[in-house]
């Protein structure tokens, strides 16, 4: 597609439920990032996929968080047993080159609210 697409745009879930957030990067982009932005905070790195390499998961805050990228394209971020502190905007970005040569394009984000 023309841009990075994220769905859903908004998600309200009950504490303890699992949620899945989806990111559809720009076609052909090999690099994909997930970031989290809590209210009034900066962007917190979560996970980075580059081509077929093993993902960099160093930013995932707990083992309740996981992500996968199927076929080098669509990525899903899963949060199990959601907690109120998971409430944030989850942003996805993709880039055409592993070094980010062409810059990064961000999606509009998924606003997650855990009640």
Partner 1 sequence: KQEVTQIPAALSVPEGENLVLNCSFTDSAIYNLQWFRQDPGKGLTSLLLIQSSQREQTSGRLNASLDKSSGRSTLYIAASQPGDSATYLCAVRGTGANSKLTFGKGITLSVRP
In whole angstroms, how close is the CB of 10 to partner 1 at the nearest point?
Answer: 10
Q: Is residue 33 near partner 1 by the rule CB under 8 A?
A: yes
Of 42, 71, 84, 115, the one binding partner 1 by CB under 8 A = 42
DSSP string, 2-38: -S-EEE-SEEEE-TT--EEEEEEPPTT--EEEEEEE-
State which of residues 1, 41, 52, 63 lies at the interface with partner 1 (CB under 8 A). Answer: 41
SS3 (DSSP) at 113? strand
Smallest distance, Å, CB 62 to partner 1?
A: 19
Q: How many CB atoms lie within 10 A of CB 3?
A: 13
84-113 mask for partner 1 (x: CB under 8 A)? -------x-x----xxxxxxxxxxxx-x--
Are 83 and 17 in contact by the 8 Å Cβ rule? The answer is: no
Shortest spacing between CB 97 and partner 1, in angstroms: 9
């Amino acid at each position: 597609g023309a841009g990075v697409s994220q769905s859903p745009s908004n998600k309200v879930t009950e504490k303890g439920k699992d949620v899945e957030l989806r990111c559809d990067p720009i076609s052909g982009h090999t690099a994909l990032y997930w970031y989290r932005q809590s209210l009034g905070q900066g962007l917190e790195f979560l996970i980075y996929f580059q081509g077929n390499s093993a993902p960099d998961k160093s930013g995932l805050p707990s083992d309740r968080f996981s992500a996968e990228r199927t076929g080098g394209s669509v990525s899903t971020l899963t949060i199990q047993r959601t907690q109120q502190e998971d409430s944030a905007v989850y942003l996805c970005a993709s880039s055409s080159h592993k070094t980010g040569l062409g810059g990064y394009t961000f999606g509009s984000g998924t606003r997650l609210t855990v009640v």
